[in-house]
């Protein structure tokens, strides 16, 4: 923080506004770091042509699944000027969220749940937006201009922009990889009307490595640098609103919210710096929560446990759906009791997943005995299909 104040003081002299853009850029970088950003780079509109072309191909192939918001108004996304015609520079920022332990170790604890690293702490959107706004305020106060800030949810191609701003390169898993922080980097953007000196683009350093492609449990990469979101566990557990397609249920294992496998496999992670901001720290209760306990959450308890967490946005029913898939994959017969209880849940999504979990855990005869009773009272077609094992 001392550095931050010094940075501001340096700039507030009367001559500053007339000083050269390089000086402004250097001061901006100091301010960004003081606010908790781990890296910063500057690019301009018109630098991500190929990405726009690939984006349109991705949408045309249907790779976005049910994420209609991603396909909407593509002209806004493929060029920053489509979103805001006055933008002259794009400031890209990164925050390192590298985990403090092996994020794949939890996959061996079958009676416990794996929540992806990014979702084990407070919602990064809130944290990064706060920092982006603070930096934008500083910029406007320092050099009169207009600004807009974005993190994740706007029609901004953050990864290609970050690559042309020099923060890293889009790896074969399609995420931005940094030489300093590996695959663990959140991104945010500030669009500004100022013409700032731009940084050089980073080049691809994946080489012949394809660890991220090989590790994917659902073979979600049809080719290097291309993801079919419909097969990605992150999409299936977070974005997908309906039942999880049968073909992916076993491969999901105990991953109940997002997936880190492709990120964790990246060899560049070994260069990730230690000592992250405390605010990105995982909450202890979300590192390896017990499936039995999670399966007992009602709506209120769900909201309390996931206060300020990104997990909250999928709601209790979708969350329980995911927990039941993990219960079905646990191999722990004692957990069948939890699934059995949820056969009576109000949500058809939950009841359907409970059927599948029971089918995995109980011997055929026992499952058939429950089925006779339960199907008699079941009105929902999707749950009836689960009992028949056809959905
Ligand atoms: C939609 C979305 C998703 C979707 C689709 C993922 C995807 N790859 O697009 C789903 C729900 C699956 C998802 C999952 C995750 N996401 Co997400 N997601 C986004 C979002 C909102 C838009 C991304 C987008 O535009 N996708 C559209 C497609 C077309 O883009 P793309 O896959 O990157 O496609 C590029 C490549 O395929 C390449 N390409 C295509 N063909 C070829 C050929 C060659 C030769 C080459 C070189 C390149 C190339 O060009 C395309 C365009 O750049 C961004 C935020 C944002 N506004 O940018 C966050 C974002 C990408 N997600 C993020 C994160 C953290 C994740 C997860 C790690 C979360 C988790 N742990 O579960 C996973 C990672 C899964 C994965 N391997 O991508 C971070 C990634 C940070 C980083 N370092 O890159 C972002 C940037 C959010 C943020 N602000 O930090 N996400």
Question: Which of 192, 227, 249 lies at the terminal end of a domain, its last residue?
Answer: 192
pLDDT at 3: 31
Select from 104, 234, 263 the residue to mutate for testing ligand 1; criterion: most ligand atoms less than 8 Å from CB: 234
Is 105 inside any structural domain? no
Domain that holds residue 303: 290-391
Measured between alpha carbons, how far is 26 from 35 in angstroms, rounded to an integer?
14
Measured between alpha carbons, how far is 341 from 10 in angstroms, rounded to an integer?
64
Is 208 inside any structural domain? no
Question: Which of 192, 219, 238 lies at the terminal end of a domain, its last residue?
Answer: 192
Is 43 inside any structural domain? yes
Select from 67, 129, 174, 241 the residue to mutate for testing ligand 1; criterion: most ligand atoms less than 8 Å from CB: 174
Examine the domain organization and report whether 146 and 295 are in the same domain: no
The Å distance, Cα 233 to ligand 1 centre, comes to 13
Domain count, the chain: 2
Residue 89 φ then ψ, to 5°: -135, 150
86-108 burial, b at 16+ Cβ within 10 Å, e below that, comes to ebbbbbbbbbbbbbeeebeebbe
Q: Which residues line ligand 1 (CB under 6 A)?
A: 51, 54-55, 58, 67, 70, 116, 118, 151-152, 156-160, 170, 173-176, 185-187, 225-227, 229, 232, 234-235, 238-239, 258-260, 262-263
- Encode pLDDT of 235-270 as tens digits: 999 999 999 999 999 999 999 999 999 999 999 998
Is 237 inside any structural domain? no
- Tell me which residue has its CA closest to atom 59 in ligand 1: 152
Residue 84 and residue 190 in contact, taking contact as beta carbons nearer than 8 Å = no
Residue 113 and residue 256 in contact, taking contact as beta carbons nearer than 8 Å = yes
Is 87 inside any structural domain? yes
Angle CA 365–366–368, to nearest 5: 65
Examine the domain organization and report whether 151 and 29 are in the same domain: yes
Overall pTM > 0.85: yes
Is 366 inside any structural domain? yes
- Encode pLDDT of 34-55 as tens digits: 999 999 999 999 999 899 999 9
Q: List 39's β-bridge partners, or say none.
A: 94
Examine the domain organization and report whether 34 and 173 are in the same domain: yes
- Measured CA to CA in angstroms, residue 299 lies from 73, 118, 122 at distances of 35, 23, 19
Examine the domain organization and report whether 50 and 166 are in the same domain: yes
Question: Which of 192, 216, 245 lies at the terminal end of a domain, its last residue?
Answer: 192
Token digits for 39? Answer: 């890296």
Examine the domain organization and report whether 19 and 150 are in the same domain: yes
pLDDT at 127: 93
pLDDT at 250: 98
Examine the domain organization and report whether 187 and 294 are in the same domain: no
Under-50 pLDDT residues of the chain: 1-15, 276, 278, 391
Is 60 inside any structural domain? yes
Measured between alpha carbons, how far is 243 from 245 in angstroms, rounded to an integer?
6
Is 109 inside any structural domain? no
Examine the domain organization and report whether 53 and 177 are in the same domain: yes
pLDDT at 271: 78
pLDDT at 19: 63
Examine the domain organization and report whether 300 and 186 are in the same domain: no
- Encode pLDDT of 160-198 as tens digits: 999 999 999 999 999 999 999 999 999 999 999 999 999
Examine the domain organization and report whether 172 and 312 are in the same domain: no
- Tell me which residue has its CA closest to atom 79 in ligand 1: 186
Examine the domain organization and report whether 150 and 295 are in the same domain: no
């Amino acid at each position: 923080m001392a550095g931050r104040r010094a940075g501001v003081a340096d700039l507030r002299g009367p001559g500053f506004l007339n000083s050269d853009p390089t000086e402004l850029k250097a001061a901006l970088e100091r301010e960004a770091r003081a606010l908790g950003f781990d890296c910063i780079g500057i690019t301009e509109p018109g630098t991500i042509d190929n990405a726009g072309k690939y984006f349109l191909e991705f949408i045309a192939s249907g790779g976005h699944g049910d994420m209609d918001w991603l396909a909407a108004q593509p002209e806004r996304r493929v060029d920053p000027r489509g979103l805001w015609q006055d933008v002259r520079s794009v400031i890209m920022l990164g925050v390192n969220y590298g985990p403090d332990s092996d994020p794949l170790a939890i996959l061996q604890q079958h009676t416990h749940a794996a929540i992806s690293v990014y979702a084990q702490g407070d919602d990064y959107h809130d944290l990064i937006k706060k920092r982006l706004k603070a930096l934008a305020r500083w910029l406007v106060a320092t050099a009169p201009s207009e600004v807009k800030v974005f993190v994740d949810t706007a029609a901004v191609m953050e990864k290609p922009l970050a690559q042309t701003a020099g923060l890293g390169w889009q790896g074969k898993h399609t995420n931005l990889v940094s030489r300093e922080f590996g695959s663990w980097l959140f991104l945010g953007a500030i669009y500004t009307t100022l013409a700032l000196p731009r940084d050089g683009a980073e080049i691809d350093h994946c080489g012949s490595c394809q660890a991220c492609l090989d590790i994917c449990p659902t073979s979600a990469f049809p080719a290097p640098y291309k993801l079919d979101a419909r097969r990605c566990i992150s999409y299936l557990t977070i974005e997908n609103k309906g039942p999880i397609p049968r073909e992916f249920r076993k491969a999901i294992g105990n991953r109940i919210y997002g997936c880190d496998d492709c990120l964790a496999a990246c060899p560049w992670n070994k260069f990730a710096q230690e000592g992250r901001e405390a605010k990105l720290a995982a909450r202890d209760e979300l590192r390896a929560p017990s499936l039995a306990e999670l399966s007992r959450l009602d709506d209120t308890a769900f909201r309390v446990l996931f206060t300020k967490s990104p997990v909250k946005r999928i709601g209790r029913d979708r969350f329980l759906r995911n927990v039941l898939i993990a219960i079905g994959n646990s191999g722990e017969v004692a957990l069948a009791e939890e699934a059995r209880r949820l056969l009576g849940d109000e949500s058809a999504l939950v009841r359907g997943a409970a059927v599948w979990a029971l089918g995995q855990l109980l011997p055929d005869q026992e499952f058939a005995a429950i089925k006779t009773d339960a199907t008699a009272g079941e009105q929902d077609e999707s749950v009836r299909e689960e009992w028949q094992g056809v959905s």
